Structure 1
Amino acid sequence: MNPRLPDPQILALALQATVLAHGQLREAATAFASELANGRGCARVGVGFLRGQQVELVAISHGSGENLHRQAFNPLTAAMDEAVQQGASVHWPAEGAPAIRHAHRLLLGERGGAVATVPIVHLGQAVGAVTCEWTTAPPDLPALVAELENSVSLAGPVLHLMAQREQPWYRRLRPGQAPDGSSRRRTAWLLAGAAGLLAAALALPVEYRVGGRARVEGQQTRAIVVPADGYLQAVHVRPGDRVAAGQLLLEMSDQDLQLQKRKWSSELGQYENAYASALARADRAAMVIALARVDEARAHLGLVESELQRARITAPFAGIVVDGDLTQSLGAPLERGKPLLQLAPLDRYRVMLQVDERDIGHVRAGQTGRLSLSALPWDALPIRAVRITPLARPVEGRNVFEVETDVTADAERIRPGLEGVGKLDTGRAALGWVWFHGVADWLRLVLWSWVA
């Protein structure tokens, strides 16, 4: 060994420390090549990594890392390919060795000296190479190649990991390519198996569900309206209150009605007295007139009494107040027929399900499904389709049909106005059809419109 060259172990550790001192591949590879050239007296050291089927030059000693793809470097990369394909170190000159050295002889040419290439091995697979060139052949080239193998075995995998890290994501997903093509065959088999599993999964029959946004409503809603013109006097309920049948809900001001009642009661008494007086005088004409006025007064009095009864608005059935907060409208004037409150029964609900027009053809009355409400996201309530509205309406830029469904759930858990998502079971179909039939229908419609 040349005594002026550093100790091989010290040089190997120095090379590894040089690589680890850099964060980028080209900088680390250039520093590694320069340190190795200085330590082993090389005229030039090149570092390359396998990209697909060929070695790509990454760095050369004492270089900038630019213009490494010129044709002048083709003999150098060919020598690296020669060592990587054989999976062993190759040097020239050498006599009687079985390795193929044609590219190394061409690289060296007629200028003399020596050249040696050591593959970079990672997990038993050659992933790159380091090529060293000397202008004068070293005295013991095989021993020097063995030292190079030790140095590359320490620093080479680190450089390979840097190269892997800097590759695009789609290249990192691909496995390394072995020289005999076994990795490609394994990849092909894996892809074929994955395609078969995917085809089997797409053919698997699953339950096809159709649905959309849903809201809970009372099965019937009763509107409480103003019975006559007047003023609001008292409010006894608010939205969310439960009421019993006949319970007092609202009271309207009845001062005017009480005055009219007293007026017609007084006139009724007068007409009755006039009738009695005419009867005592046997004045038939006066009796007829007085009797007609008595009937008129009684009719007006009965009308006033009925309006007084309607001024006290009561619940027509037991239910819950779902709309109409009038607590801030006391004393406000009210017009006949104006809605005041809305009542819904406590134990009878329906769910209105919005189904897109593209899926309505799969919905039939009697189909069952599930409802998930925003207030009860973990409970799937059973529903059953009852009626399909025959007219679509636009909702958020799409046409939907409303499907009326029954819901069987505890009345304590749901309330009118709750919203969620409902789905109806329409039968079983292949998973691929469930996923892609919407796209296929859209393409069919587009093509039909173009052809037509």
Structure 2
Amino acid sequence: TAACIGLLKRAEGGRLAQLDRAVSRACRSSRGKLWGIGLLCVLLAGLIPMPEIIHCRCEIQPVSRRFVAAPFEASLEQSLVRAGDVVSAGDVLARLDGRELRMKLAGVQAEIQQAAKKQDAQLAERQLAEARLTGLELNEAELERELYQHRLSQLDIRSPVDGVVISGDLERAEGVRLSLGQTLFEIAPVDRMIAELEITQPDISNVKQGMPVEIDLEADDGRRRKGTVTRIQPQSVRKDQQYVFPAEIELENTSRTLRPGMRGRGRLTGEWKPLGWILFRRPWHQFLFMIGW
């Protein structure tokens, strides 16, 4: 009886071991299949075509700039605007000191009166040659008077266009002597603006003119603006410790909510490419660059 019981136990143990080995083989086979199926799904997903999305920083800039310069040498009497002020065409931006001009005008007017009396006396005495010379001096003095009168009419420095003052805070410069042609203000029209996109070097080869762009500005109340790339500068510039290629899109600004210097993020929609290429393009290029390929 004891021998039979031992044989039964060994038989049962053998069957349990076989069952355990069979289950282990099935599990290993199932895991392998799952891994294979998962890898195949990843490879297939990497072949799915999707539009490449390129993210970049952006900054609002004016389409054009107008520089307002001193029309002649004079002292600054008063500055009426500062950077950031919105102005209209014809608004007075600053005033020049006209005291020196008025003194010169009074002096030349006195010279004209004296020259006119002198010429009359010479003509009365039949001194024709002397009268002609005095007439030339009189004409020169009259031209000088016209010059001073014209400059007195230009003492008010006015804005040539509607726009916003970008630079030209001259409050601390009142009384300072200005030279001819010295830039006083920089004014940018605000009806249209440019969003300057900062395209990084790894992305520049995939950015083309006409690509659709969406921008979100930090100071634009969450509004998303759309446009297309109109221009890509061929040379990189250094910004925030890196070299970028500026690209531009034009934006309507009839509401005048956009101001130069606003910053945000840009989102360019590129060509359709495999998802795997989109995900691993930059790491692959960085790896090749690190190994000196």
Please state which band the TM-score falls in when normalised by the shorter chain: 0.7 to 0.9
Output the TM-score relative to the length of structure 2.
Answer: 0.84
The share of aligned pairs that are identical, in percent, is 24
Task: Report how many aligned residue pairs link the two structures.
Answer: 285
Shift in Å, 1:428? 1.1
The one of the two structures with greater contact order (alpha-carbon pairs below 8 A, sep at least 6) is 2
Shift in Å, 1:180? 3.3
1:196 and 1:410 map into 2 onto residues whose CA distance is 53
Give the residue type in structure 2 aligned to 1:316.
P
Select 2:230's aligned residue among 375, 382, 386: 386
2:155 and 2:273 map into 1 onto residues whose CA distance is 61
Computing the radius of gyration from Cα coordinates, the structure with the larger value is: 1
Note if contact 2:237-2:243 (Cα within 8 Å) is conserved in structure 1.
yes
1:220 and 1:295 map into 2 onto residues whose CA distance is 43
Shift in Å, 1:433? 0.7
1:273 and 1:302 map into 2 onto residues whose CA distance is 20
SS of residue in 1 equivalent to 2:229: strand
1:353 equivalenced with 2:263 (yes/no) = no
1:263 and 1:420 map into 2 onto residues whose CA distance is 59
What whole-Å deviation, never above 9, does each CA across 1:114-164 have from its counterpart, x for those lacking one? xxxxxxxxxxxx9xxxxxxxxxxxxxxxxxxxxxxxxxxxxxxxxxxxxxx
**Aligned residue number for residue 422 of structure 1:** 266
Select 2:158's aligned residue among 278, 292, 314: 314
C-alpha spacing 1:378/1:201, structure 2 compared with 1 (3 Å): farther
Alignment of 1:333-372 (within 5 A): 333-372=177-216
1:391 and 1:189 map into 2 onto residues whose CA distance is 52
1:219 and 1:256 map into 2 onto residues whose CA distance is 39
**Aligned residue number for residue 46 of structure 2:** 202
**Aligned residue number for residue 246 of structure 1:** 90
Q: CA RMSD in A?
A: 3.0
Shift in Å, 1:258? 1.0
Alignment of 1:53-132 (within 5 A): 95-96=5-6, 98-100=8-10
Shift in Å, 1:242? 1.9
Q: Higher mean Cα deviation, 329-338 or 252-261? A: 329-338
Note if contact 1:250-1:313 (Cα within 8 Å) is conserved in structure 2.
yes
**Aligned residue number for residue 61 of structure 2:** 217
2:280 and 2:253 map into 1 onto residues whose CA distance is 34
Unaligned runs of 5+ in 2: 14-19
What whole-Å deviation, never above 9, does each CA across 1:366-409 have from its counterpart, x for those lacking one? 22211121213732211222222222223344332222221235
Output the TM-score relative to the length of structure 1.
Answer: 0.57
SS of residue in 2 equivalent to 1:365: coil
Shift in Å, 1:256? 0.7
Note if contact 2:191-2:252 (Cα within 8 Å) is conserved in structure 1.
no
1:436 equivalenced with 2:276 (yes/no) = no
C-alpha spacing 1:100/1:223, structure 2 compared with 1 (3 Å): farther
1:229 equivalenced with 2:73 (yes/no) = yes
Give the residue type in structure 2 aligned to 1:95.
I
Give the residue type in structure 1 aligned to 2:159.
A
SS of residue in 1 equivalent to 2:220: coil
1:97 and 1:254 map into 2 onto residues whose CA distance is 127
Select 1:374's aligned residue among 195, 201, 218: 218
**Aligned residue number for residue 411 of structure 1:** 255
**Aligned residue number for residue 302 of structure 1:** 146
